Amino acid sequence: MGIVEKMRLDGKAGFVTGAARGIGKRTATAFAEAGADVAIVDMDIEEAKKTAAELAEATGRKVIAIQTDVTVEEQVQAMVDQVVAELGGLNFCHANAGICINAPASEMTYAQWLKVINVNLNSVFLTDTIAGKYMMAHGGGSIINTASMSAHIVNVPQPQCAYNASKAGVIQLTKSLAVEWAKCGVRVNSISPGYIATELISASEFLKPLIERWNAYSPVGRMGTPEELMSICVYLAGDTSSFTTGSDFIIDGAFTCF
């Protein structure tokens, strides 16, 4: 069997949070195209159902939609239980749900700070530990967390201290879990995208004017696309990455290199 065949995910099942659109939708697409059955997990259940139907028709895989508030422990547990029941197991997951509030620290309310930390960091802890406990009891698995290049740099000119701090926390959580679970067969890695041209950015009146400035800073002169994150996630979800754990993969067009 060649390396391309070995990278396929046939017979595997997993879920992606924040998967109704954007990065999560693309990685869920990649998993299904590689042969896995996938759950589209999102608060927006109508959009999640639409995405699930699209992927099921395009790939022939079993793709389901589950409405979940990933900041609520009981809902995350119920979601994992449903994935196992309907897809027959859990071999990988991508904790991708996240938000950003652009506000100067001197003006940001504590409620805003908590909201970002809760969605971006606390939910990753819930998702990883609940999925990880199942994986440890069933032969192992792979967990992928979405961090950000904002964990490595302070973005300018937009003020986003809570987002930056939360994503730095994701990386350290990833490394900590990877060390704790290495002997249990559960691998934990993160991806740190740079500026990615998602629907979220294109719809933001605050961020759209900044794109030209970001592109001017970037060595490659452009933003990335969600599709450019798909292959690394398939690699991390599959068996060819069996020696890869505790790593953070920066995909930013060299933006953080200077």
pLDDT given at position 258: 84
**Crossing angle of helices 161-181/110-117, nearest 10°?**
30
Please indicate, yes or no, if residue 257 is contained in any of the structural domains.
no
| CATH code for the domain in which residue 97 is found | 3.40.50.720
pLDDT score of 222 more than 80: yes
Please indicate, yes or no, if residue 32 is contained in any of the structural domains.
yes
Please indicate, yes or no, if residue 255 is contained in any of the structural domains.
no
Number of domains within the chain: 1
pLDDT given at position 1: 73
pLDDT given at position 6: 86
> Whole-prediction pTM value?
0.96
pLDDT given at position 201: 77
Contact 7, 235 (CB under 8 A): yes
Express each pLDDT in 47-95 by its tens digit.
Answer: 999 999 999 999 999 999 999 999 999 999 999 999 999 999 999 999 9
pLDDT given at position 207: 78
Percent above pLDDT 90 for the chain: 92
Query: Which residue type does 103 have?
Result: A
Average pLDDT over residues 204-209: 77
Q: What is the C-alpha to C-alpha distance for residues 57 and 42, in angstroms, rounded to an integer?
A: 20
pLDDT given at position 226: 95
pLDDT score of 203 more than 90: no
The one catalytic residue in 12, 25, 123, 163 is 163
Average pLDDT over residues 182-187: 98
176 is catalytic: no
Query: Which residue type does 112 have?
Result: Q
- If phi > 0 it is left, if psi is from -120 to 50 it is alpha, else beta; for residue 25 that is alpha
Cα Rg of the chain, angstroms: 17
Express each pLDDT in 232-241 by its tens digit.
Answer: 999 999 999 9
Please indicate, yes or no, if residue 256 is contained in any of the structural domains.
no
Which tokens in the block code for residue 122?
């606390």
Tokens 């290495």, residue?
182
167 is catalytic: yes
Express each pLDDT in 111-149 by its tens digit.
Answer: 999 999 999 999 999 999 999 999 999 999 999 999 999
Please indicate, yes or no, if residue 88 is contained in any of the structural domains.
yes
Q: Which residue range is the domain that position 220 belongs to?
A: 3-246
Which residues, 6 or more positions from 19, have their beta carbon under 8 angstroms from its beta carbon? 25, 27, 28, 38, 40, 41, 42, 48, 51, 94, 96
Q: How confident is the model at residue 5 (pLDDT cuts 50, 70, 90)?
A: confident
The one catalytic residue in 25, 166, 167, 190 is 167
The one catalytic residue in 12, 25, 142, 148 is 148
Tokens 């440890």, residue?
136
195 is catalytic: no
pLDDT score of 3 more than 90: no
SS3 percent helix, strand, coil of the chain, rounded to 5, is 50, 15, 35
Tokens 């879920």, residue?
15
Q: What is the C-alpha to C-alpha distance for residues 27 and 166, in angstroms, rounded to an integer?
A: 21
Please indicate, yes or no, if residue 226 is contained in any of the structural domains.
yes
Q: How many residues are recorded in the chain?
A: 258
Please indicate, yes or no, if residue 241 is contained in any of the structural domains.
yes
Please indicate, yes or no, if residue 251 is contained in any of the structural domains.
no
Q: In what order do the strands lie in the sheet with 248-251?
A: 63-67, 37-42, 13-17, 92-95, 141-146, 186-193, 248-251
Average pLDDT, the chain: 96
pLDDT score of 11 more than 80: yes
